[in-house]
Structure 1
Amino acid sequence: MVHGLSAARMALAPGLAVTLLSAPGAALIMGAAWWCALLRDSGHAGPSLLDCADAPGRAAEALALGCQGLILAPAPPGPRSPPRPGATARFSSPPPPPIWS
Structure 2
Amino acid sequence: MTRPVRIRGIEDARLVLGVARDCGCTVVLVSPAGAAGYLGGGWWAALTALLRQEFPGTEITAVLDCADDPGHVLAALRAGCTELSFAGPPEVVVKLADIAAQHGARLHPPAADAVEPWRERIPRAALHALLAGPGTAPADTSPPGTAGR
Q: What TM-score results when the alignment is normalised by the length of structure 2?
A: 0.47
- Tell me if 1:23 matches 2:29: no
Aligned length: 78
Is the 2:66–2:72 Cα contact (8 Å) retained in structure 1? yes
Partner of 1:4: 9
Q: Matched residue of 1:13: which SS? A: helix
For the residues of structure 1 that align with 2:37 and 2:60, how far apart are their CA atoms?
Answer: 23
AA partner of residue 17 (structure 1): T
Give the gaps of 5 or more residues in structure 2.
Answer: 1-5, 90-111, 114-149
Unaligned runs of 5+ in 1: 76-99
The residue correspondences of 1:1-101 to structure 2 (distance < 5 A) are: 1-14=6-19, 15=21, 16-43=25-52, 45-74=59-88, 100=112
1:17: how far off? 2.0
Contact 2:41 2:80 survives alignment (8 Å): no
Report how far residue 40 of structure 1 moved: 1.3
Runs of 4 or more, structure 1, over 6 Å off, are none
Once the two structures are overlaid, the 10-residue window that deviates more, 19-28 or 59-68, is: 59-68
Aligned-CA RMSD value: 2.1
Q: Which has the higher strand share?
A: 2
Residues in 1 aligned to 2:81 and 2:30: alpha-carbon distance in whole angstroms: 12
Whole-angstrom CA distance in 1 between matches of 2:29 and 2:77: 17
Corresponding position of 1:84? none
Q: Structure 1: how far apart are the matches of 2:67 and 2:83?
A: 13
How far the C-alpha of 1:10 sits from its partner, in A, is 0.7
Q: Which has the higher helix share?
A: 2
